[in-house]
Amino acid sequence: MLLTRQFFAKGISPKRVMKFIIGLYYSKKIAELVSFLFWEIKYRLSLYPRDKLLNFGNRQALLSLGTEGVQSQIISDGFKITESRYNWGLVFFDDQQNLWACLCGEERALYRMEPGEEPRRLYVFPEAIRGIFVTKAGNVFVCTAGNVFRSADGGSSFEHVLIFSCHQSFFRHETITESPEGTLFIGEYANVWQELKCRFVGFIYHSVDGGKTWHKSDFLKRAGVNKHVHVLRWSRLLNGLVLTDGDNKKYLWINHSPMQPGSQADLAGHGWKKINRFHIQKGGYTALAEAGGILFLGTDYYGGTNFLVTTSDMKTFTEKVIPDPYRRGFVRRMVLRTDGLPVPEIWANLKFNFSKGYKSLLMVTNDLGRNWQKVIEYDGSRFGVKIISDSKGTTNEHFLLVQNKKTKTRTTLRIHS
């Protein structure tokens, strides 16, 4: 991704092209380049059938961010987006719909807010909070750069329980999960470059005692992965763990034997089974959602052609190409929201930071991906839009953080009914 950013941000010249090619060689991304070229040519020549393109029900987004900034509200059928009362920077909803969060400008402090109540400040960490997770037993986990802390008393006190392999590491929303039996899993994530090479930080940790102690596995390193974990989630549909990695391999894995998190196997009941053998088969997804008996996966081909992929069994996959002008943006996150209907909304954001010819997009579907609605369209070089909330299931609200990169201002928006 760093190579792609440099290529688009600085423009094209013979010297930069040569540097780009050398960078591809040293980062072992030649296979990815071949895939990118194949998909690019296929798209340019209109070889993808119309039913293979992501379908949008509206031509114009409900809001296009521009010089006027963020509107006070967006009202559409089924949902509203309004300015949040609190300027949250990161949010997690537990099983009782209590909100755990930190505020913009106060990233080291953990807050808790019960439904209908005011937020209460609980604890201040040495560094900014990078991730929050609450188990079904009520244990609270907070990660800062390089460290994980645990609370067994509702956030009043914390103990230091895990040190990651490097100080920059943390767990993403998508890389901490819990099995039905209460076993906890964390996939390590960071972007660290050393002499044009990625530093491997893709370790997997698991705990069988509620997060008091953790066991570390380097099986991804032994499998040839060179960077980090994108997704590590328990799938109720598949009754197992789904894992994706980055950066050069971009594999997709399934494991029906969570007590064997450190070994690769030909059968998912004996360890991690690799689903895709070649890069062009797609994998390494950065976003995952599960609804209506379908697993939704979003690709991480930043600057190339991106896809939304669905499966119900990890055997048969259906892909939809994200069309221009959003095609180059990777699928950063996907979350579920319910408004009381049996089919939840799936919210997704597509991020691309360079070149005004390509746009970034926040979008939603209420029919399990058959049709999508453009909600917020923006130039990623001028604005940032993040889905900053998460839960272990489906919630009735979510939060967005909108950043104006020129003015350095941040506004938190609330998605609700």
103-136 pLDDT, tens digit each: 999 999 999 999 999 999 999 999 999 999 999 9
Per-residue model confidence as pLDDT tens digits over 334-372 = 999 997 778 999 999 999 998 678 999 999 999 999 999
Strand stretches in 125-221, DSSP E: 131-134, 140-144, 147-151, 159-163, 176-178, 184-187, 193-194, 197-198, 204-207, 215-217
Extract the tokens encoding 210.
């509620």
Cβ neighbours of residue 135 under 8 Å, at least 6 residues apart? 141, 178, 182, 184, 210, 211
Alpha helices in 27-80 (DSSP H): 30-44
Start-to-end Cα distance in the chain: 36
pLDDT tens profile 139-163: 999 999 999 999 999 999 999 999 9
Average model confidence (pLDDT) for the chain?
91
At 75 the pLDDT is 87
Where does the pLDDT of residue 24 fall: very low under 50, low under 70, confident under 90, or very high at 90 and above? low
Cis peptide before 325 (omega within 30 of 0): yes
Task: Give percent of the chain with pLDDT exceeding 70.
Answer: 91
125-284: CATH number: 2.120.10.30
> What is the rounded distance in angstroms from the CA atom of residue 78 to the CA atom of residue 368?
15
DSSP one-letter string for 66-88: BTTB--SEEEETTEEEEE-SS-E
60-69, 83-92, 222-231, 292-301: which has the minimum mean pLDDT?
A: 60-69
Enter the pTM of the model: 0.92
Instruction: Say how far apart CA 228 and CA 248 lie, in whole Å.
Output: 10
